[in-house]
A and B are shown apart, each in its own frame.
Chain A
Amino acid sequence: MELPKGRARRGSRSLPYVLLSPGMLWLVIFFLVPMATLAALSLQTGDYEQGFTLTWNWHIYSEMWTRYGHHFIRSFSYAFVATVAALVIAYPLAYAIAFKAGRWKNLLLVLVIAPFFTSFLVRTLAWQAILADNGWVTSTLRSLHFPMQDGRLLNTSFAVICGLTYNFLPFMVLPLYASLERIDPRVVEAASDLYARPITAFRRVTFPLSLPGVVAGTLLTFIPAAGDYVNATFLGSPQDQMVGNVVDKQFLVSNDYPIASALSMTMLVAILILVSLYIRRAGTEEIV
């Protein structure tokens, strides 16, 4: 009786690693190796024509920070505002789809995903037309005396944040929907049986149960939004450029690979720190 049990235990111990190995292999080849290359590239000096050699030039990180520190602050602020805006818009939407949509549920979900059928670039360019100076949106808001930077919407920070919010909205809606959908309606019923008003039932029961969705949604929105450069390129002015734009210009135009790598590494580490602080506060057990 004892022996087979022990064998089974040993078997199940190695099994997770066997199952993990394809994924780990993939990560090592397509994540760790490029990442190490990027880290090494950031510490090299030279030019694109003659090549770069590793000189452990740590100085580049402080130089990068003095030159582009404000771009980091801008990227994170824009991403933060866009994430909050997306949450405010997506929560009622996901709530309605999960609880009130009835037979329209599947159709509404398809509509949320529908924008993915066209390219990200085309959708952002469409916003140029929507926010154009002589478009109806701008003229309507102007007649309502909506406060506008230089009397325009396009090529302002407002436009960039709108673009970010719009482009990453589905990433907020879907996890929210998934976690709201899972809530057993009977617990909400129980709350009202115990004389909770609807608002209290929402605050004390529904919302806490949807927190995993909130955490997942905010992460899925914040991370890509902070690294985005398409929205700032097409909807921003020179004052609204983000870290992604600098990386793009340094890699492709200036061919200064070390500084571009240093920017990417810093962005990666900064996001990692912010996200782990956030997860620690929000608690991981609900997400995983």
Chain B
Amino acid sequence: MTDDFRRSPEFRDFLAQASRRDFLRIAGLGGVAAFLASCSTKGAAIKASDTALPSSSGPSPTGGTSGSTTPSTATTPPSNDKSDVDKLVVFSNWPLYIDVDAKNESLHPTLAAFTKSTGVKVTYTEDVNDNDQFFGKVKPQLSAGQDTKRDIIVLTDWMAARMIRLNWVQKFDPANVPNAKNLRAALKSPPWDPDRSHTLPWATGLTGIATNTKVTGGKTVTSMTQLLTDKSLKGKVTCLTEMRDTVGLIMLEMGKDPANFTDADYTAALDMLQTAVSSGQIRQFTGNEYAQALGKGSIAAAVAWSGDVIQLQAANKDIKFTAPDSGLMIWSDNMMIPNQAQHKKNAEMLINYYYDPKVAAMLAASVNYICPVEGAQEAMKSIDKTLATNPLIFPDDATLAKTHVFMGLSATQETTYSTQFTTVTGS
């Protein structure tokens, strides 16, 4: 019956009408486009004038900490701090980045101790997997001046710099974070937050080269030139998708300063990387996943993060971490309080708590990245003597002198450089 209907003249008429209507609909779509033309896509930055908007502040009690006390916070939007009535803090962090109870992996002893001493409950979520993805996740709220339902977020230096540039995070009230004085001197004034008024490092790491000596036959890879050109490593090398780590190390190898370079230097570094990609030397560009492959021996050497290497070394003696003579990259993941956070004071209390050397040592003992807190090395001696002398957790000044940071980039530079880099990585 349906077939007969389809072949019927009525159905053909219907089709003809439909296509006329399609035409009209497309014309209508043109109207939509014209409408959109007048709208354009809004920028992500919060301007100082935007922040003066009344932000649905009901009769909520101001905890005496949000902005009003310090004139310097006048540019940040009010956060409707509910800290005193709602004893809670919502903490978004990277996976496997905190101490866990030996019996129950969902318990975190340092957080439990904080709740016990202050009465403030912590909702701890491991939902930061990638700086760029997380940026995409919180962008709709933060660019519209809305609450992200998070009180503390942890992001890497360059993304933290972007958050500050976009005016998306709040200044700490110094009175609530007295322990900030314990921050290691080398980390005290990054160019993008010179007085550490918006950020404090959760953990710091080094980027260098890791080798699985079982795969290389005892040989350790000691320079980027060797990593990118040694024929015996062909197809068994990975680099990081984090542009600043991979390109930074190559620039150091070429004798350039990653903190101060020209477009030509950047292109030269990418050329070296492109040659290694085209020759099949580099097997993949990865995030954390390289660690598993390196441990299993699928790859021989990689651009690697220090903390991952320590964790691998615990189970596998063949894994070596080398600091190339030309230098290492250093980075931190920073705690920040996003605009409109509902528990700013509680967040500051928690940040302050982790800057107590004893707590910092407990954290570093299980996180294995560089501890940014002065005095934690002393405290570590009573927890684990070997970790207290591990140069990848408590590096000496000589090692720190070899470390470099990547230059701060503008939005346009960020787009141009990362497009060039992702093109080399195959996409």
Q: Is there an interface contact between A36 and B29, defined as CB atoms closer than 8 Å?
A: yes
Q: Is there an interface contact between A249 and B427, defined as CB atoms closer than 8 Å?
A: yes
> Which residues in chain B, 1-29, are within 8 Å of chain A measured between CB atoms?
3, 6, 29
By a CB distance below 8 angstroms, the chain B residues around A32 are 29, 32
Q: Is there an interface contact between A256 and B415, defined as CB atoms closer than 8 Å?
A: yes
Q: Is there an interface contact between B45 and A49, defined as CB atoms closer than 8 Å?
A: yes
Q: How far is the CA of A255 from the CA of B415 in the complex (A)?
A: 6
Q: Is there an interface contact between B423 and A67, defined as CB atoms closer than 8 Å?
A: yes
Name B292's closest neighbour in chain A (CB-CB): A128
Name A238's closest neighbour in chain B (CB-CB): B426
By a CB distance below 8 angstroms, the chain B residues around A154 are 298
Q: How far is the CA of A250 from the CA of B416 in the complex (A)?
A: 10
Name A255's closest neighbour in chain B (CB-CB): B415
By a CB distance below 8 angstroms, the chain B residues around A150 are 234-235, 280
Q: How far is the CA of A44 from the CA of B36 in the complex (A)?
A: 11
By a CB distance below 8 angstroms, the chain B residues around A252 are 132-133, 135-136
Q: How far is the CA of A255 from the CA of B135 in the complex (A)?
A: 10
Q: How far is the CA of A246 from the CA of B418 in the complex (A)?
A: 12
Decide if B283 is an interface residue (CB 8 Å cutoff): yes
Decide if A269 is an interface residue (CB 8 Å cutoff): no
Q: How far is the CA of A36 from the CA of B412 in the complex (A)?
A: 26
By a CB distance below 8 angstroms, the chain B residues around A239 are 277, 280, 426
Chain B, interface size category, equals 35 or more
1/0 per residue, CB under 8 A from B, across A125-163: the answer is 000000011100000000000000011101100000000
By a CB distance below 8 angstroms, the chain A residues around B419 are 250, 254, 256, 259
**Contact status of A238 and B282, CB under 8 A, knowing A71-B427, A245-B426, A246-B427:** yes
Decide if A277 is an interface residue (CB 8 Å cutoff): no
Q: How far is the CA of A155 from the CA of B133 in the complex (A)?
A: 23
Q: Is there an interface contact between A40 and B427, defined as CB atoms closer than 8 Å?
A: no
- Select which of A47, A132, A152, A242 is within 8 A of B415 by beta carbon: A47
Decide if B76 is an interface residue (CB 8 Å cutoff): no
Name A154's closest neighbour in chain B (CB-CB): B298
Name A229's closest neighbour in chain B (CB-CB): B427
**Contact status of A255 and B411, CB under 8 A, knowing A36-B29, A40-B33:** yes
Decide if A91 is an interface residue (CB 8 Å cutoff): no
Decide if A48 is an interface residue (CB 8 Å cutoff): yes
Q: Is there an interface contact between A254 and B41, defined as CB atoms closer than 8 Å?
A: no
Q: How far is the CA of A41 from the CA of B418 in the complex (A)?
A: 20
Q: How far is the CA of A74 from the CA of B6 in the complex (A)?
A: 39
Q: Is there an interface contact between B43 and A253, defined as CB atoms closer than 8 Å?
A: no
1/0 per residue, CB under 8 A from B, across A88-125: the answer is 00000000000000000000000000000000000000
**Of A51-59, A180-188, A191-199, A206-214, the one touching chain B:** A51-59
By a CB distance below 8 angstroms, the chain B residues around A41 are 41
Q: How far is the CA of A154 from the CA of B296 in the complex (A)?
A: 14
By a CB distance below 8 angstroms, the chain A residues around B422 are 246, 249-250, 253-254
B32, B133, B426 — most chain A CB neighbours (10 Å): B426
**Contact status of A134 and B298, CB under 8 A, knowing A44-B41, A54-B36:** yes
> Which residues in chain A, 197-254, are within 8 Å of chain B measured between CB atoms?
236-242, 245-246, 248-254
B3, B41, B43 — most chain A CB neighbours (10 Å): B41
Q: How far is the CA of A53 from the CA of B284 in the complex (A)?
A: 36
By a CB distance below 8 angstroms, the chain B residues around A236 are 284, 426
1/0 per residue, CB under 8 A from A, across B24-48: the answer is 0000010011001100111111000
> Which residues in chain A, 12-69, are within 8 Å of chain B measured between CB atoms?
32-33, 36-37, 39-41, 44, 46-54, 67
Q: How far is the CA of A36 from the CA of B234 in the complex (A)?
A: 46
Q: Is there an interface contact between A54 and B425, defined as CB atoms closer than 8 Å?
A: no
Name A33's closest neighbour in chain B (CB-CB): B32
Q: How far is the CA of A151 from the CA of B283 in the complex (A)?
A: 12
Decide if A257 is an interface residue (CB 8 Å cutoff): yes
Q: Is there an interface contact between A134 and B136, defined as CB atoms closer than 8 Å?
A: no
Decide if A285 is an interface residue (CB 8 Å cutoff): yes
* Number of residues of chain A lying within 8 A (CB) of chain B: 48
Q: Is there an interface contact between B33 and A132, defined as CB atoms closer than 8 Å?
A: no
Q: How far is the CA of A239 from the CA of B132 in the complex (A)?
A: 23
Q: Is there an interface contact between B33 and A39, defined as CB atoms closer than 8 Å?
A: yes
**Contact status of A253 and B44, CB under 8 A, knowing A39-B33, A237-B426, A241-B427:** no
Q: Is there an interface contact between A238 and B36, defined as CB atoms closer than 8 Å?
A: no
By a CB distance below 8 angstroms, the chain B residues around A51 are 40-44
**Contact status of A52 and B426, CB under 8 A, knowing A238-B282, A254-B415:** no
By a CB distance below 8 angstroms, the chain A residues around B284 are 155, 236-238
By a CB distance below 8 angstroms, the chain B residues around A37 are 36
Q: How far is the CA of A40 from the CA of B280 in the complex (A)?
A: 39
Decide if B87 is an interface residue (CB 8 Å cutoff): no
Q: Is there an interface contact between A155 and B427, defined as CB atoms closer than 8 Å?
A: no
- Select which of B41, B285, B418 is within 8 A of A46 by beta carbon: B41
- Select which of B166, B277, B411, B412 is within 8 A of A238 by beta carbon: B277
Q: Is there an interface contact between A40 and B36, defined as CB atoms closer than 8 Å?
A: yes
Q: How far is the CA of A47 from the CA of B234 in the complex (A)?
A: 38
Name A131's closest neighbour in chain B (CB-CB): B298
By a CB distance below 8 angstroms, the chain A residues around B424 are 238
1/0 per residue, CB under 8 A from A, across B291-310: the answer is 00000111000000000000
Q: Is there an interface contact between B44 and A132, defined as CB atoms closer than 8 Å?
A: no
Name A257's closest neighbour in chain B (CB-CB): B41
Hey, which bits of chain A sit against chain B, CB under 8 A? Answer: 32-33, 36-37, 39-41, 44, 46-54, 67, 71, 132-134, 150-152, 154-155, 236-242, 245-246, 248-257, 259, 285
Hey, which bits of chain B sit against chain A, CB under 8 A? Answer: 3, 6, 29, 32-33, 36-37, 40-45, 132-133, 135-136, 165-166, 234-235, 277, 280, 282-285, 296-298, 411-412, 414-415, 418-419, 422-427
Complex A-B: 27 CB contacts under 8 Å: A33-B32, A36-B33, A44-B40, A44-B41, A47-B412, A49-B411, A50-B43, A50-B45, A51-B42, A52-B41, A53-B41, A150-B234, A150-B280, A152-B235, A237-B284, A238-B277, A238-B282, A238-B284, A238-B285, A239-B277, A241-B425, A241-B426, A249-B422, A249-B427, A253-B418, A255-B411, A285-B6
Q: A152-B235, A237-B284 are in contact. List 11 more A-B contacts (CB 8 A).
A: A32-B29, A47-B415, A48-B411, A49-B166, A50-B43, A54-B40, A134-B297, A238-B277, A239-B426, A256-B415, A257-B41
List the 8 closest A-B pairs by CB distance, nearest first. A51-B43, A238-B426, A245-B427, A241-B426, A49-B411, A40-B36, A241-B427, A52-B41
